[in-house]
Amino acid sequence: MPKPATQDSNEQSSAFRSFIAEKGLRATRQRMAVFEAAQGLTGHYTAEDLLKKAKGLDRTVSRATIYRALPLLKGSGIIREVDVGRDHKYYLTESGIATFRAQLICESCEEIIEVDAPFMEWYGKAVAAKHGMRPISQKLQVTAICERCQKRKPLRP
């Protein structure tokens, strides 16, 4: 019999708890609420979205706490930051598998699509190595017009 879905969050939860424990930090009520909020969100969300969700779990969570928790969630691999040069950044709750992702960004409807781009990892490493650099991370973003927008009047002319 498979584990109930809620176990996922609990397993991730202990991963997060040990991450902060290792750093000598504390598992506060607010911090854990932000964590749970992240687990409850899908797709790209903003810090503000996360705040709203976290507030729903614990009314005492403040915006400052969100911004202070984000680096911890990123550092523990619970979430990933997606910066496509807009006014605010996006976040994405990671599923288990951590494959290399690129962003396909529709210039018309502004949708952001995460796509697997495993080859990129190799290519980025190769580019870095060619210049004697030790690669850490990489980002590939393709701006384009999505299928739907090609077939209709542009939303942002």
Partner DNA sequence: ATCAATGCAAATAATTTGCAAAAAG
Partner DNA sequence: CTTTTTGCAAATTATTTGCATTGAT
Closer to a second copy at the Cβ: 1 or 136? 136
Q: Based on the shown chain and the rule CB under 8 A, indicate whether residue 120 belongs to the binding site for a second copy.
A: yes
Burial (CB < 10 A; 0-12, 13-18, 19+), residue 121, is middle
Return the sign of the alpha-carbon dihedral for residues 60, 62, 66, 69.
Answer: negative
Q: Which does 115 bind (CB under 5 to 8 A by kind): DNA, a second copy, none?
A: a second copy
Is-contact 33 58, C-beta < 8 A? yes
Interface residue with DNA, options 6, 22, 88, 95 (CB under 7 A): 88
Return the sign of the alpha-carbon dihedral for residues 86, 52, 111, 74.
Answer: positive
Interface residue with DNA, options 65, 76, 93, 103 (CB under 7 A): 65
Binding-site size for DNA (CB under 7 A) equals 25
| Site string (43-82) toward a second copy, x via CB under 8 A | ----------------------------------------
Binding-site size for a second copy (CB under 8 A) equals 34
Contacts of 133 (CB under 8 A, 6+ apart): none
- Interhelix angle for 47-57 vs 29-39, to 10°? 120
CB of 36 to DNA, least distance (A): 13
Give the 3-state secondary structure of residue 1. Answer: coil
Q: Based on the shown chain and the rule CB under 7 A, indicate whether residue 15 belongs to the binding site for DNA.
A: no
Number of neighbours of residue 52 by Cβ within 10 angstroms: 15
Q: Which does 112 bind (CB under 5 to 8 A by kind): DNA, a second copy, none?
A: none
Give the 3-state secondary structure of residue 91. Answer: strand
Q: Which residues bind DNA (CB under 7 A)?
A: 20, 24-31, 46-48, 60-65, 67-70, 87-89
Q: Which residues bind a second copy (CB under 8 A)?
A: 83, 85, 102, 104, 106-107, 113, 115, 117, 119-120, 123-124, 127-128, 130-147, 150
